[in-house]
Amino acid sequence: MGILDFLKRKPEATATVARERLRIIVAQERSTRGAPDYLPMMRNELLEVIKKYVHVDLDAISINFERDSGHEILELSVTLPEGKQSAKSETKGEAKTG
């Protein structure tokens, strides 16, 4: 660090920000990789149906797609709002491939 460096404006260490943002988005995209293209649309339609009966928002539904040898597992989890008779209900559906 030279004497004259004190006069220069110190740049922000933005590489750390880039690294953290990439870690999150890459992990998220990998988790949905290989899943069918209809998944996001199905998620929205399911939400519409559920909304008819319970008031939930988009974040309340999570869909997981896993591939085992020979068969695929579609896991759908809906978190119902506090105060209802069951706080959380889980539904599982399995679909065979091939």
Binding stretches for another protein (CB under 8 A): 1-5, 8, 11-16, 18-19, 21-23, 25-26, 29-30, 33-34
Residue carrying structure tokens 């990439």: 22
Residue carrying structure tokens 């990789």: 33
Written as six digits, the tokens of 74 are: 């579609």
In whole angstroms, how close is the CB of 94 to another protein at the nearest point?
Answer: 22
In whole angstroms, how close is the CB of 14 to another protein at the nearest point?
Answer: 6
Count CB neighbours of 57 within 10 A: 10
In the chain, the largest separation of any two C-alpha atoms, in whole Å, equals 70
Our CB check for another protein shows the closer of 8 and 52 to be: 8
Our CB check for another protein shows the closer of 33 and 52 to be: 33
